[in-house]
Chain A
Amino acid sequence: MTAKLPALARAGVPLAAIVIAGLIALQLALPSEDPAAASALESVHRWWYMGRAAGFVAFGLLLASMLLGLGVSSRVFDGLLVRPWVFDMHQFVSILGLIAAAFHALILLPDPYARFTLVQLTVPFASPYRPLAVGLGGIALYGSIVVAVSVWAKCWLGQRGWRAVHYAAFALFAAALVHGVTAGADSHEGWAQLVYLAAGLSAMFFTFFRILAARSQARRNPASPARAVPPRPVEGLPHAR
């Protein structure tokens, strides 16, 4: 393989390591310096806190997966990142996001206040707590599983079927966003609203970029108007789009 990571990506790895080390250091330092936080983490509410935090992590991973996927098809990252890496990370982040979303739901099971049952957490709209909002989250999770599995079922679905299933990811992201805004206990906080706003705007930006890139490509290559991006053999990219 001759493709190499560009300088920006190489610089990003140590930068990410520094950020991670800083966050871990902050996490380690917080309980000793803030006894209130330590007692809160030991309290009966810790499941609720972990569920809320896991929801944000899962939402962030879902957003990252969507942006990476749009980056592959629109080639927005070309010149910054090698496409096989973007595609590989798109798949990996999708699976990681699904794990985080499942954890986000199931960690609420032992919460002594919420007292959710397994059925209430796994069956959409069965929750007594904001049933519509929580149900949307369940639909987003199950739909994302279908979209993720569709990659391996591409030989049976065909290109059109796979594409149709993948288009559902936009609706699923919207459902996850609505779920976060309407069911989240932190939605009234300014930082949470900023997170949702930034996520929604970035998703919209990348989506419009993808549409414009497809139109531009179709204009340049009118022989194949149905194909947004003509396939070009890329080393290390198993599924040409």
Chain B
Amino acid sequence: MQLRFIASKLTTVAASVAIFSGVTAWIAAKAADRQPQPRPPGNAIDAPAQPAPGTPARRPYVVQRIAPDGTVYFETVSSPPAARPAPVTRTRAS
């Protein structure tokens, strides 16, 4: 009987962990569907990261930056950086 008691408790813990993992993955998958896809490297400098759905709104922004050596890192800022204007393509005057 004691063994069955222990087995029931282990089952409860395993079920809780499994449900926690499953719900986390599910919420993440649903959020990923609604989040914009990251821009390709080289075009993503100072691109403001989007907050997760349901995240408190008053929070500072985390921006993704690219260091001169090419490594990507995150930095917390208080206000969203302005969108980087697209480069103007000049045509050669004929």
Residues of A within 8 A of B (CB): 1, 3-5, 13, 16-17, 19-20, 23-24, 26-27, 30-31, 34, 36-37, 39-41, 43-46, 48-50, 52-54, 56-57, 60-61, 85, 88-89, 92-93, 96, 100, 112-115, 128-129, 185-186, 236
Q: Cα distance A49–B14 when bound, in Å?
A: 20
Interface membership of chain B positions 40-73, coded 1 if the CB is closer than 8 angstroms to chain A and 0 otherwise: 0000000001011111101110100000000000
Are A57 and B16 in contact, CB atoms less than 8 angstroms apart?
yes
A-B contact count (CB 8 A): 132
Binding site for A on B (CB under 8 A): 1, 4-5, 7-9, 11-16, 18-25, 27-29, 31-33, 35, 49, 51-56, 58-60, 62, 74, 76
Query: Are A96 and B20 within 8 A (Cβ)?
Result: no
* Chain B contact residues, majority secondary structure: helix
> How far apart are B8's CB and chain A's nearest CB, in angstroms?
6
Residue of B nearest to A5 (CB): B4
Complex interface: chain B residues within 8 A of A36 (CB) = 29, 32-33
Cα of A41 to Cα of B31 in the assembled complex, Å: 10
User: Which among A16, A27, A30, A89 has the highest number of chain B CB atoms within 10 Å?
Assistant: A27
Q: Are A186 and B16 in contact (CB under 8 A)?
A: no
Q: How distant is A154 from chain B, measured CB to nearest CB, in Å?
A: 21
> Known interface pairs A27-B25, A92-B9. Does A16 touch B56 (Cβ–Cβ under 8 Å)?
no
